[in-house]
Amino acid sequence: QQQVKQSPQSLIVQKGGISIINCAYENTAFDYFPWYQQFPGKGPALLIAIRPDVSEKKEGRFTISFNKSAKQFSLHIMDSQPGDSATYFCAASMGYQFYFGTGTSLTVIP
């Protein structure tokens, strides 16, 4: 059973556009929601993270929107750049166990 559901599976965006990736979860015990970015041949790297007591967190061009009542959270990448082309994973955790989404392959076209 997938604890965290992520969509879309793949995404193509023009340079300068907004990329939006969505995730949903069921377990209300989750208390930490990170997003990871993974380039080919590399391990995932933390991009940005949020706790459920905050509805939005912004770091540079990356923003997490969190809707606790809907049990959904999303990643917005503003002014998307070709260098943002990578696979993005959302995750949710409680304690020291992390549950990951299935990933979104983002391609930003110049």
Partner 1 sequence: KAGVTQTPRYLIKTRGQQVTLSCSPISGHRSVSWYQQTPGQGLQFLFEYFSETQRNKGNFPGRFSGRQFSNSRSEMNVSTLELGDSALYLCASSLPGTGSYNEQFFGPGTRLTVL
* Site residues, partner 1 (CB under 8 A): 6, 31-32, 34, 36, 41-46, 49, 51, 89, 91, 93-103
Nearest residue (CB) to partner 1, 20 versus 49: 49
Under 8 Å between Cβ of 61 and 78? yes
- DSSP for 5-27 reads EEE-SEEEEETTS-EEEEEEE--
Structure tokens at 46: 């933390």
Least Cβ distance, residue 94 to partner 1 (angstroms)? 6
Under 8 Å between Cβ of 86 and 39? yes
Least Cβ distance, residue 109 to partner 1 (angstroms)? 22
Least Cβ distance, residue 23 to partner 1 (angstroms)? 11
- What ranges in the chain are assigned the alpha helix state H? none
Nearest residue (CB) to partner 1, 63 versus 104: 104
Under 8 Å between Cβ of 66 and 56? yes
Nearest residue (CB) to partner 1, 17 versus 32: 32
Least Cβ distance, residue 9 to partner 1 (angstroms)? 8
